[in-house]
Amino acid sequence: MAIRQYCRALGVAGLLLLSGGPGCSAKETMATSAQPIELGGKPVQVVVSERPLAADGVKLVVRGLRVVDRQPGVLYHLYLDLPDGKKPTKKDPRFVGSINFFNASPANVVNDRVFYTFDLSKTARTLRERRLLTDATTITFVPGGAPDPQAKAFVSRVELVFP
């Protein structure tokens, strides 16, 4: 089996594990956040692409989870194209999934092996049908409670990947 077919068979996990090898190049990454993202007690919105999400089969990859001194102690819920200032409900169609910092690296270590992958296909299709996709593709991190005020949590980058 060719390397590119192998990467596609494994999906995003294969792409991440084999990135840099022949056939598993950065061409598969559609968009990525520009800077590390600090998460705290308020929602944080990240513009991943200046264009609306148009392709089906796109995966969201949240890479390089890091903490300073301690865990935040809460989950962070992710939403696709959540309008600024909107407080999502439990059944919001923009909900993508949740992350935690249980296996996060210390803040001075950038470890891209700590990552989460989410399939955006169903969410994007629902938002497209309801005309809720925005002009720029955004991901909003919403704390699922009050994080430890002494904790500092970071995500190295957010990527849109087409496997």
Residues in contact with 33: Cβ distance below 8 Å, sequence separation at least 6, in sequence order:
46, 47, 48, 157, 158, 159
d(CA 70, CA 153) in angstroms, rounded, equals 8
d(CA 14, CA 1) in angstroms, rounded, equals 14
Q: Any idea what DSSP says for residue 92?
A: -
Class of 28-161 per CATH?
mainly beta
Query: What's the pLDDT score for residue 54?
Result: 79
d(CA 152, CA 118) in angstroms, rounded, equals 24
Render pLDDT for 45-80 as a digit per residue (tens, 0 to 9).
Answer: 999 988 888 777 899 999 889 888 888 999 999 999
Q: Is pLDDT above 60 for 113?
A: yes
pLDDT band at 32 (very low <50, low <70, confident <90, very high): confident
H or E element in which residue 151 lies: none
Q: Is pLDDT above 90 for 146?
A: yes
Q: Is pLDDT above 80 for 93?
A: yes
